[in-house]
Amino acid sequence: MYENIALTETTYYILLALYRPNHGYGIMQKAYDLSGGRVRLAAGTLYGALNTLCDKHWIEQLPAEAGSRKKEYRLTEEGLDVLINEIERLRELVNNGDAVMKGE
């Protein structure tokens, strides 16, 4: 079902950052760290993306703790499937590139 979806780098890192439940600032930091500083998510970009991913049912917002303003999110099963498929797609791209470069 998701075999033909190629995620943007931003979406990929947001989903990856949500492999464990996380809040907005944590997602920004995790994406930055995982990408070696290449992906810098501004708050507006992040929250727009989070809304879109919630609409697609790839992530969901967790119930907020009483008195907390932090919004935490987690991957849904569907979102995990999308992420796994993307990792497999990227792995295939790298393997094909390696094969060509090695003359196979």
Asked if residue 3 is part of any domain, the answer here is no
Tens digits of residue pLDDT in 17-43: 999 999 999 999 999 999 999 999 999
Asked if residue 51 is part of any domain, the answer here is yes
Asked if residue 23 is part of any domain, the answer here is yes
Which DSSP state fits 91?
A: H
Tens digits of residue pLDDT in 84-101: 999 999 999 999 999 999
Domain count, the chain: 1
Say which residues have a Cβ less than 8 Å from residue 54's Cβ, sequence separation at least 6: 60, 61, 73
Asked if residue 53 is part of any domain, the answer here is yes
Matching residue, tokens 């995990």: 80
pTM of the model: 0.89
Asked if residue 2 is part of any domain, the answer here is no
pLDDT at 67 over 90: no
The CA dihedral of 80, 7, 40, 23, to the nearest 10 degrees, is -20
Asked if residue 4 is part of any domain, the answer here is no
Q: Quick check: 58 and 1 in contact, CB under 8 A?
A: no
Range of the domain at 30: 9-101
Q: Write out the two tokens for 103.
A: 């003359």
Distance CA 25, CA 41 (A): 9
